[in-house]
Amino acid sequence: MNETKNAAKSRFHYAWVILAACCLMQSAILGVVQNGRGVFYNAVCNDLGLEISAFTLYSLFHGIGSFLCMPFSVRFFNRVHPRIALTAAVTLFCGMTALMGSVSTLPAFWTLGFLQGAGGSLLIFFISPFLISNWFKKHYGMAMGLSAAFSGLAGVVINPLLAAVIESAGWRTGYRAQGLLAFALAMPAVLLIRSRQPEDVGLMRLGEGEEAPAGEIAAEKDKEETPAEQAPDENAPVSARDKRVLVWVLLFTVLASITNAYNQHFAKYAVTIGLTPAIGAALVSCAMAGNIASKFGIGALNDRIGTPKTLILSAITMGLGFTGMIVGAGNFLLYPASVLAGICMPLCSMCVPMLARHLYAPAVYRRVYPKITMLLTMASSGAITVVSLMYEAWYSYLPVLLIGVGISVASVFCIIAADRQK
């Protein structure tokens, strides 16, 4: 009997292949394309004589396209084999990215941004959290952290590569290279995805039915009280309680989306307090380091202490980072503070789906998460503009950072309120 048990434990689980697919997808869509957008701004605008504010509106159209197409994309994804739906999404997303190297007018960029968002509605915030939630019970936090970290790692590598291509061959070639590279990384990921959930191929989630190791008792105890671990009923109606919880989750989503854009203003913040552009660039690098490290940390903590405590600690860390940037303006404290503030990025990409997964039973999660993703995509697309307007209201980043601290406190309140409603 023990031999049978040991053999079952040693058997390779397909969830690890799903995780590899998610890592590739995150690298391609978020790392290569989304995190590599900024390197084109000056080159395109200088060549075509465009204002950066007008050109970057294509990212807003991108969010609108994703928001409007999400319901249809998810319905299509649920009705056909996932490889068919994801092939169509990847082709549209990467194709529109490559086509940006062939246009010259603002309406054309905005149109391509809208179509790129339509393709990205399944790819940017939806597919990886959705698949990992379906395939992982054990090691869920680790899987979320690892897949999310790949987007940051790819972003670190791709920016200097694209800058070199733009300098040597021009921005048009840069866009085409970006689209082709994203397609080359994403398509192998699509081919690895056998099904949306393990039940479709006669499997169970990784760790389903296994006894929790001693080190995971705290997290397992938390999960015992979590509706997301109850048996799924695909026909069960969304209860009044679930709808009340959704209000808090959506509010947390908006707050997390706003702070997601803060790191892109760190370079300008350094200049406004009398520091050099080189120091501003160093602050952005510190924030990216904090982004990557915190993704691993959030995943590991989630598996050990449970989701609510992990997310509360994450929001508090972000608040401490913003506070340190205020207090440390002009001294060395600014660097570690920007590392802590870098957690604002996984707060959006990781913590939102983790909170939803914690609060909802699987069947309800599959229905409400597309709605959460719609708001997440739209809010994060407009966040850069929102933070810019906040700065222009005072022409100082001090109120902006104070608002960031307030958002951190409000996020903690939303997490606690949602968990108590559960």
Of 104-118, 151-165, 179-193, the poorest mean pLDDT is in: 151-165
Q: pLDDT category, 215, cuts 50, 70, 90? A: very low
H runs (alpha helix) in 328-397: 334-341, 344-346, 352-359, 362-394
pLDDT confidence of residue 42: 81
| Domains observed in the chain | 12-197 (1.20.1250.20), 217-226+234-421 (1.20.1250.20)
- Own/partner pairs for 45-54, CB < 8 Å, 24+ apart? 47/171, 48/104, 50/106, 54/106
**Six-digit token string for 290:** 């904090």
Residue 235 pLDDT: 54
Find the helix packing angle between 334-341 and 307-327, rounded to 10°: 150
- Amino acid code (one letter) for 187: M
Show the DSSP H helices in 273-333 as ranges. Answer: 277-305, 307-327
pTM for the model stands at: 0.82
Query: Picking from 159-163, 233-237, 288-292, which range would have the lowest pLDDT averaged per residue?
Result: 233-237
Across the range 96-115, mean pLDDT stands at 95
User: Helix (H) and strand (E) counts for the chain?
Assistant: 20, 0
Which pLDDT belongs to residue 230?
45
What is the per-residue pLDDT across 148-177, written as a single tens digit (0 to 9) for each? 999 888 888 888 899 899 999 999 999 999
- Max Cα distance, the chain (Å): 74
> Bigger pLDDT: 284 or 65?
65
The two three-digit tokens of residue 410, written as one number: 């409000």
DSSP line for 247-259: HHHHHHHHHHHHH
Tokens 């972000």, residue? 318
pLDDT of residue 224: 43
**Burial, 46: exposed, middle or buried (Cβ in 10 Å; 0-12, 13-18, 19+)?**
exposed
Residue type, 2: N
* Residue 206 β-bridge partners: 136
- CB atoms under 10 Å from CB of 363, counted, come to 15
Residue 275: what are its φ and ψ, rounded to 5°? -95, 170
Cα separation, 372 vs 316, whole angstroms: 23
Q: What is the share, in percent, of the chain residues with pLDDT greater than 90?
A: 56
pLDDT in tens, 15-67: 999 999 999 999 999 989 988 887 888 889 889 998 877 887 888 899 899 99
Q: Once rounded to an integer, what is the mean pLDDT over residues 298-305? A: 92
pLDDT of residue 218: 47
Task: Name the burial class of residue 72, with classes exposed (0-12), middle (13-18) and buried (19+) by CB atoms within 10 angstroms of its CB.
Answer: exposed
Q: Residue 104 has what pLDDT?
A: 93
Average pLDDT over residues 328-336: 86
Q: What is the pLDDT of residue 211?
A: 54
The Cβ of residue 97 has, within 10 Å, a number of other Cβ atoms equal to 30
* Predicted confidence band of residue 236 (pLDDT cuts 50, 70, 90): low
Residue type, 417: A
Contact assessment for residue 360 and residue 231, using Cβ atoms and an 8 Å cutoff: no
| pLDDT value at 8 more than 60 | no
Q: Which residues pair with 136 in a beta bridge?
A: 206
Asked if the model's pLDDT at residue 129 lies above 50, the reply is yes
Average pLDDT, the chain: 87
Over range 93-115, report the average pLDDT. 96
Q: How high is the pLDDT of residue 117?
A: 93
Q: Please report the pLDDT score of residue 314 as a whole number.
A: 96
Average pLDDT estimate for 210-214: 52
